Structure 1
């Protein structure tokens, strides 16, 4: 693997799950607890112990996700409560700490009915609020004859009021303001209804608008859930990428390399690394990690080879790098990072390329030299 090597990276399930747990808990990217036990059991070939440790990690990670979902619902209901001015109690969100998966599951089970009740009370509050807005004026509707030759039957107005309030409780409390206005506009037509049949026609329109408002609200909720899932996936991918970069850095530093960010692009934290050693004045290794799934490495020269001795030294450095890359792969596997080499070159197959920085330096030096010659 002289001037180039490419390898596909696969993170162990224990690493992936533990990184997800760390994000929820607000901890660093290191492995701890059952995740570390699962990796140790994997390295020792203890399949049964690994399965048990991994199952516990999966259970804990799943329980933490359930808590996150409940916390998000508490926040959403809190926003709705503030928007409509309701006095409805909500449970405080849970900030997970040292709770066991069983304790987290028990909190979720106890919280669900409380949130259901809070949502029901918010819907009732909104229904009463909207109904009062509609029916607080003079009761001209349902009480006068508007040309059909008969007054409404006794009690029709009260029945319509009760029906309207019951229908309004179906409106989801977090429906958008314009959708609530559409419902209210339909309900206001009751003021012009002179018969029970006309009132029922208006109520049917109110039902239809509530159905439409609820459908749009559910669609918005689904969009928000999808966006939250996409954000979570992006944060997980970044945590995995950072874990791989940190593990690669540690592995090669243990082997005597100096590892620093690469600057081939505008950002220094995009997965580009440069590996150098004290005994390598003329050589370095450029490495790039793409989204924690692929690694590419290329040995380069810091200045062009000028003799056969330089080329023989290149082959020696390539062989040294080849052996140490394999040693680093073993260290990475112990950290739960498996790398499957997809492509490589044997030492000495091609001349080493000159690094871009060295070419730029030589070009600038040449320009300065030519400038001095013109001045003379």
Structure 2
């Protein structure tokens, strides 16, 4: 056994999928039913049952996320519809339920896609109609032609050129503008479209339409880029939320494992954040010892040498699907400085006890879907136990007072 240990930790796929489903369904960090079934099959060595359970939970996870994507699109289109005042009906968002069959969720997504595509097109048509109506509310002089008179050479190219034809063409072109284009892009397109009202000929009107098409193309490109950026930000939020859920699951599992073995957890994990994950494990039979544990990202701790970790340090890196690696550092320490050989012998006993508890905790964590791979060990008693910071401060203050008294007596 060893007093210091370092191990890589990986969450089982069933745990990762369960945590993702729980967040979608608004539940706590416990395993979803399908995830628990997959872990039970793993523990029982039933490979086929585990494969089936994982496939089922993965399919359901994808279905739930598809529902959330449609709900987000409904919300975005509703905001655009209200902003432009379009009279367009939208489907109600769906609140997913774990008990709903997969085929029902898939059917809802397919039907909703059809409705939303049509709604988006109608909103775009409404915007285009509003713009063209405003532009042609007062017909420009150059947009009408007296077909009863013979065209003069100067106006020969305007024969058959009518405001109705241009208005219809412009409206079809404007309908291509995505409804969630920014106000600046809509203004830019409208400025180009306004020029058509003064076009003296069909050729010049076509030139204006070409400019409108180009501006719509650029506006739609920027709109698509904005949508892609929103998707990236949503993916980043998803990754951060998943990483936090995985970290908390590890913390809760570690807490349960050690509490079941008689340890007390001070400063409960519920108060922790991703930036500060420190807790202290104690036992009633340990008046002079404790174990300090801290959760860190693997990158934050990668520059820490084994020598600086201390003899009783335990670094456990969690490698979930989204976390990129985490470290749980555990170090046994003294609450007051060792003063005799008996204290040091007791330290070695406590270190051995802690190492055995750590191995027992590893077995319990494996049952919870948290696999570990030890990569570094240090035997008990190789280095002296560090002293808790508050104990060191108390000792320093006491020594300072003693030195002050000695100086006063010597004077």
- Scaled by the length of structure 1, the TM-score of the pair is 0.93
Task: Give the deviation of 1:138 after TM superposition.
Answer: 3.6
CA pair 2-84 structure 1, distance change in 2 beyond 3 A? same
State how far apart, in whole Å, the 1-side matches of 2:168 and 2:405 are.
96
Task: Give the deviation of 1:353 after TM superposition.
Answer: 1.1
State how far apart, in whole Å, the 2-side matches of 1:129 and 1:371 are.
88
Query: Which of 126, 149, 171 lines up with 2:154 in the alignment?
Result: 149
1:347 is aligned to 2:380: yes
Task: Give the deviation of 1:20 after TM superposition.
Answer: 0.3
CA pair 133-367 structure 1, distance change in 2 beyond 3 A? farther
Q: Which residue in 1 is equivalent to 2:304?
A: none
Range 354-363 or range 22-31, more displaced: 354-363
Query: Which of 200, 207, 210 lines up with 2:206 in the alignment?
Result: 200
Task: Give the deviation of 1:136 after TM superposition.
Answer: 1.3
Q: How does 1:363-374 map to 2 (within 5 A)?
A: 363-367=396-400
1:103-131 CA deviation, whole Å, 9 max, x = no partner? 21121111110111111111111111111
1:57 is aligned to 2:63: no
State how far apart, in whole Å, the 2-side matches of 1:254 and 1:189 are.
78
1:66 is aligned to 2:66: yes
Q: Which residue in 1 is equivalent to 2:17?
A: 17
Q: Which residue in 1 is equivalent to 2:96?
A: 96
Task: Give the deviation of 1:4 after TM superposition.
Answer: 2.8
State how far apart, in whole Å, the 1-side matches of 2:179 and 2:93 are.
20
State how far apart, in whole Å, the 1-side matches of 2:408 and 2:253 are.
52
Query: Which of 165, 175, 180 lines up with 1:174 in the alignment?
Result: 180
Structure 1 gap segments, 5+ residues each: none
Q: Which residue in 2 is equivalent to 1:42?
A: 42
> For 1:150, what is the secondary structure of its paired residue?
helix
Q: Which residue in 1 is equivalent to 2:267?
A: 261
1:80 is aligned to 2:80: yes
Structure 2 gap segments, 5+ residues each: 147-151, 298-317, 319-325
CA pair 373-71 structure 1, distance change in 2 beyond 3 A? farther
State how far apart, in whole Å, the 2-side matches of 1:294 and 1:253 are.
20
State how far apart, in whole Å, the 2-side matches of 1:300 and 1:222 are.
50
1:4 is aligned to 2:1: no
Whether the aligned pair in 1 keeps the contact of 2:3 and 2:354 (CA below 8 Å) is no
CA pair 81-148 structure 1, distance change in 2 beyond 3 A? farther
Q: How many residue pairs were aligned?
A: 373
Whether the aligned pair in 2 keeps the contact of 1:262 and 1:272 (CA below 8 Å) is no
CA pair 188-256 structure 1, distance change in 2 beyond 3 A? same
Task: Give the deviation of 1:361 after TM superposition.
Answer: 2.8
State how far apart, in whole Å, the 2-side matches of 1:63 and 1:289 are.
33
Q: How does 1:238-257 map to 2 (within 5 A)?
A: 238-257=244-263
Considering only aligned residues, what root-mean-square deviation do their CA atoms show, in Å? Answer: 2.3
Range 115-124 or range 131-140, more displaced: 131-140
State how far apart, in whole Å, the 2-side matches of 1:201 and 1:68 are.
43
Q: Which residue in 1 is equivalent to 2:149?
A: none
Range 148-157 or range 273-282, more displaced: 148-157
State how far apart, in whole Å, the 2-side matches of 1:369 and 1:68 are.
68
1:221 is aligned to 2:227: yes
State how far apart, in whole Å, the 1-side matches of 2:79 and 2:405 are.
70
